[in-house]
Amino acid sequence: MENRLKLITLFSLIILSLVGMPAQAKTQTYECAADKTWFTNPSMPIEVKKSAPNGESNFCDFYQFSWQAFIYLMSPSDKESAQRNFQVTSNYPILEVSKDKKPVNSCDDTITENTLFVSLDKAHGLPERIHQAGDSATIYDQQGDVVYYDVRFSRNMCNVADIKTKNNFPSGTTEMKTAWKVLKDGEKDNYLTIVTDVGTQKNVTLGMIGFHLAIATTDHPEFVWATFEQKNNAPDCTNPQPTPAKGWSFTSNQCADLLKKNSVLQLECNFNTAKSSESITGNPTEICRVYAYGTDLTDPNALENVGSITSLNANVAALLSGNMAVFKNYFNVGALWVSNNKEDSSISNQRGSLRLANTVAETTFQNVDLNPKTNQGFASNCFGCHNFEGSGLTTNKNTTSGGLSHIFDDIAAGMGECLDVQAGPIMSNSQAEAICGGASGACGNSSSILKWNGQWTTTVPGKMSVCGCCGS
């Protein structure tokens, strides 16, 4: 981690000198401190602090918020000592999906369906929920074992009838997505582990390799989006870190050497390429991290963002001990939020790691293009798929119509609730039938269990309408 920071700092200073930045910007360092009470008395943060001189939140405030939440969620539970806080289902239910990829009631008190998922079919299922984001990619570690995912959420998301009438999710609403790999002998000490059944295999030890975290607050109804990874997942594509003693989990030694030599990578290693598969074993996926800390040196506030992340990562690691010592093997990749919550989540309003991606959860979506002239209207970071319409709306547009939470759609569908699903402009009943109905319509695309109830409403004249979609 230290070597990575040195490389980034050196390269940053070179770039800044070339573009004529002020002298103080060339030498500025960023110190972001961890709070010891996060470890002695773990608690979920309620709001992002406001430590900037202008009374607003600075970058460090957001990363402190993210780390405090992560530490609380990973701390041993007072209720169930054998589990971490995020694993206590009475507080954080786990998303259940039937064998035919349909959500079921995840808010009851029993777990009767699948909770560990892997992208093993090409049929439309729940790609943003139980597979990798965007394209249902299947990835394999260097032993050829598939990566599994699960999804948890805060209990308040079960209050579907109340939430769907509001413009924004209540403060404290939390979503989590975890990536797991099969562990071999000698690996277990470096991972948070679970022992579970996967398919026909019994008592398999899995290690956590990635963790998505999204939390809504009063000041940030768009959610603060943060992601964490295990440090041995994969190297950076440029200025790669030294290969760990036991190798990378998702990069072969040969391809890691090619990264160091800056050789012809794509042709020889086919980095960050994956397809949906039908097997729990397969050819190892070659992965590297396109943007260290989700940041390009040309991005606005790049130095402050990277400096805050790396400083806090180091300070947290120094305080981890006892039953939390295992998290020395994990780091915060970055976080993403908006500057003005009254406005939508367009790129100009985004702050933090603008090119944020998790190597094991968004492997094929790491080439985040922020340039509207070349990205065809889509930047594949968090807000590229999770659209926030802004809290300053003059008309009621509930949370589902903005497409902010995909998990909420599945929770509601599994409980048999109806939702308004964003569908683009609709001008007539006949057009609504085509746009809203059918397996490929707005309802079916949102969730395989949602069916159009025959209702539609225009929310933005000429620009946006919603379809009434109901679970069974």
Q: What is the pLDDT of residues 247-267, one digit of tens each?
A: 999 999 999 999 988 755 556
pLDDT level of residue 46 (50, 70, 90 thresholds): very high
Please, what is the average pLDDT of the chain?
A: 85
CA–CA dist 472, 414 (Å, integer)? 8
- Average pLDDT (323-340) is 97
Asked if 372 and 420 sit in the same domain, the reply is no
User: What pLDDT, on the 0 to 100 scale, is given for residue 265?
Assistant: 53
Question: Please, which pLDDT band fits residue 19 given cuts at 50, 70 and 90?
Answer: very low
Report angle CA 465, 470, 472 to the nearest 5 degrees: 160
pLDDT in the model for residue 79: 83
143 and 57 within one domain: yes
Looking at 346, 364, 385, the residue that finishes a domain is: 385
Higher-pLDDT residue of 392, 150: 150
Residues 368 and 264 in one domain: yes
pLDDT at 149 > cutoff 50: yes
The tally of domains found in the chain comes to 2
Using the predicted structure, report yes or no on whether residue 399 has a pLDDT greater than 80: no
Confidence of residue 29 (pLDDT cuts 50, 70, 90): confident
Q: Is 299 inside a domain boundary?
A: yes
Q: Residue 266 domain-assigned?
A: yes
Residue 61 has a pLDDT of: 98
Q: Determine how many CB atoms are found less than 10 A away from the CB of residue 464.
A: 18
422 & 378 share domain: no
Q: Residue 286 domain-assigned? A: yes
Q: Does residue 13 fall inside a structural domain?
A: no
Query: Of 254 and 198, which is predicted with more confidence?
Result: 254
Give phi and psi for 441, each to the nearest 5: -75, 180
Distance in angstroms (rounded) separating the CA atoms of residues 207 and 193: 4
* Domain identity same for 379 and 423: no
Do residues 428 and 342 share a domain?
no
Between residues 345 and 325, which one has the greater pLDDT? 325
Q: Indicate whether 255 and 375 sit together in one domain.
A: yes
Q: Per the domain annotation, does 459 fall within a domain?
A: yes
3-state secondary structure the chain: CHHHHHHHHHHHHHHHHHCCCCHHHHHCCCCCCCCCHHHHCCCCCCCCCCCCCCCCCCHHHHHHHHHHHHHHHHCECCCCCCCEHHHCCCCCCECCECCCCCECCCCCCCCCCECCECCCCCCCCCHHHHCCCCCCCCCECCCCEECEEEEEECHHHHCHHHHCCCCCCCCCCEEEEEEEEECCCCCHHHCCEEEEEECCEEEEEEEEEEEEEEECCCCCCCCEEEEEEECCCCCECCCCCCCCCCCCCCCCHHHHHHHHHCCCHHHHHCCCCCCCCCCCECCCCCCCECCHHHCCCCCCCHHHHHHHHHHHHHHHHHHCCHHHHHHHHEEEEEEEEECCCCCCCCHHHEEECCCCCCCCCCHHHCCCCCCCCCCCCCCCCHHHHCCCCCCCCCCCCCCCCCCCCHHHHHHHHHCCCEEEEEEECCCCHHHHHHHHCCCCCHHHHHCCCCEEEEEEEEEECCCEEEEEEECC
Residues 187 and 330 in one domain: yes
Question: pLDDT digit string (tens) for 122-142?
Answer: 333 333 333 465 556 889 999
Segment 87-96, tens digit of pLDDT? 999 999 998 8
Supply 386's token pair. 């999770």
**Domain membership flag for residue 360:** yes
pTM of the model: 0.88
In a domain, 408, yes or no: no
Lowest mean pLDDT among 103-117, 252-266, 270-284, 401-415: 103-117
Amino acid found at 162: D
Do both 111 and 251 map to the same domain? yes
Question: Tell me, what's the pLDDT at 6?
Answer: 41
pLDDT of residue 5: 42
Lowest mean pLDDT among 140-154, 355-369, 446-460: 446-460
Q: 176 with 265, same domain?
A: yes
Assess whether 123 and 233 both reside in one domain: yes
Among residues 346, 368, 385, the one where a domain terminates is 385
Least confident of 10-19, 127-136, 158-167: 10-19
96 and 173: one domain? Answer: yes
Residues 237, 256: contact at Cβ < 8 Å?
no
78: domain range?
Answer: 27-385
CATH code of 444's domain: 3.30.1490.230
Assigned domain for 127 exists: yes
* 70 vs 41: CA distance, rounded Å: 13
Last residue of a domain, one of 385, 402, 427: 385
Return the higher-pLDDT residue of 24 and 220: 220
